[in-house]
A and B are shown apart, each in its own frame.
Chain A
Amino acid sequence: MLPLMEEVFVRKRKYLTQKEMLDIFTMVNSMPGVIAVNSSVLIGYKVKGVRGAIASLLGVVIVPVVVIIALSVGISQIRDLDWVQAGFHGIRSAVTGLMLTVLIRMASKAILCWIDLSIAIVSFLLIVFFQVPGLIIILGAAVIGWALHTLRDRGIS
């Protein structure tokens, strides 16, 4: 989605410079939430302020929302049929494979040292074996990540 945004907003419409677009993508990476949505909001804000941001938000959300509402109603009608169940079993197996790709790709970017690796492993164990709420794991990781990386950076310099 991001390369498409660059194509349209930088090259076709010339709303933003290459540099501004890059700044937005960098910013989005250190923000919570949905990446595609946040980038759209930032682009909209840059072009036309708060109104632009709201317009972009609506633009990026409306089509998927309408499609998903229609699909959810449609699927709930046929979900209990045997052949649909069987088809979904096929899809579930495929999605497992797709998620493994995502896991490996993201891990290669996020796990850069033993601190990252230990946080990832501990988080996995906490959620799988102790059912610790994910929100608590994330907040804990923010504190512990900050503390360990601060210690390590001091140790080096």
Chain B
Amino acid sequence: MIVYLQLFWIFFKIGAVTFGGGYAMIPLFQQELMSRNWISPDQFTDIVSVAQMTPGAISLNTATYVGSIQGGVVGAVSATLGLVLPGFILSILIVKLLKPLGNSPHIQRSIRGIRAAAIGLIGSAVLFFIEQSMVTTPFPRSLGSGWSTIAPIWEAILIGVIVFALNYKKRVTPFIIIPVTFLLGVIIF
């Protein structure tokens, strides 16, 4: 029982404060789940990857997946409900009572701050994915030691760069990219 409540609460908190879309939520999920040792770093990257290629919002899919691993079907439903409930309640409240509030310049300024912070958080998620896929060990968080043990994985870097170019310039969708890179991975690694 306690695990269902925990799942609900973790995702409820994150769902209540993250503006500007699902990707900003990923580092928050990562912090909450890894600090509890519920999920290992490589497991987390796999979950996000699956969430990315499945229909539906990436944050929603990640929450469902984590809930399912941690607490089966009931866990999946708890996590999902936790994530969507703040938005659901706020949507109705805003329409019913608080309509003018969203247009207040004070709220807009705060939201701008949150959106800027979200960029920093997404940046940290990109760094985490680089560490999990393109180098042999994570970067040390200090300048001194630890740097000599890191080696680049060139095949992975090449895949990442090509995917970035295709997605950014040509808008090739993940639905094509993910299966193809899975096959590439099976052949290369």
Tell me if B133 and A110 are in contact (CB < 8 A): no
Interface of A is mostly: helix
Interface size on B, residues (CB 8 A): 100
A33-B15, A90-B189, A96-B126 known; A106 and B119 CB under 8 Å? yes
Tell me if A45 and B109 are in contact (CB < 8 A): no
Q: Count A-B contacts at CB 8 Å.
A: 333
Tell me if B181 and A45 are in contact (CB < 8 A): no
Least distance between A103 CB and chain B CB atoms (Å): 5
A150 to B77 alpha-carbon distance, docked (Å): 41
Query: Which partner residue on chain A sits nearest B156 by CB separation?
Result: A93
A68-B51, A69-B68, A103-B119 known; A96 and B46 CB under 8 Å? no
The one of B107, B126, B184, B185 that contacts A99, using a Cβ cutoff of 8 Å: B126
- Judged by a CB distance under 8 angstroms, whether B163 is at the interface is yes
Interface of B is mostly: helix
Map CB proximity to A onto B78-119 as digits: 1 under 8 Å, 0 otherwise.
001001101110111011000000100111111111111111
A94 to B167 alpha-carbon distance, docked (Å): 10
Tell me if B130 and A139 are in contact (CB < 8 A): no
What are 29 inter-chain pairs, A to B, with CB distance below 8 A? A34-B21, A35-B21, A36-B56, A37-B84, A41-B91, A45-B92, A53-B88, A68-B56, A71-B54, A88-B49, A89-B156, A90-B181, A91-B49, A93-B155, A93-B159, A94-B49, A94-B163, A97-B159, A106-B20, A110-B115, A111-B119, A117-B116, A119-B113, A123-B117, A123-B121, A125-B120, A133-B31, A135-B13, A153-B109
